[in-house]
Amino acid sequence: MRLLAIIFSIMIAALQWPLWVGKGSWLRVWQLDHQLVEKKQHNEKLKERNDALDADVRDLKTGSDAIEERGRNELGMIRQDEVFFQVLDKNHPALTATPQPPPADH
């Protein structure tokens, strides 16, 4: 009787093995589910980025305001007869740094 119980225990363990460790195991399903959630989040970020780029392309195609804004912000362009003013923050590193004396030539 004891031998029969051991044989049945081994058979049950052998049948359970693929469920817990095999190719379609619970662990593998959990890992794939976790990867799926990560990929969906990544795809959502990429979709938001693509939507923003699409909006930029539409703005650049339809009007000159977007082109002018990009020229001003990214290239520092100004119109003819315009005066450019740059306002710096008091805490800007370039303003708060103490000037270094020039190296003495020997």
Half-sphere exposure of 95 (CA within 13 A, CB side): 6
pLDDT digits (tens, 9 = 90+) for 17-53: 777 777 778 888 889 999 999 999 999 999 999 999 9
Count how many domains the chain has: 1
Is residue 23 in some structural domain? no
DSSP string, 65-97: HHHHHHHHHHH----TT--------TT-HHHHS
Tell me, what's the pLDDT at 33?
95
Please report whether residue 64 resides in a domain.
Answer: yes
Give a yes or no: residue 77 inside a domain.
no
Q: Is 82 part of any domain?
A: no
Q: Which domain holds residue 47?
A: 43-71
pTM value is 0.49
Judge whether 48 lies within some domain.
yes
Least confident of 7-11, 45-49, 73-77: 73-77
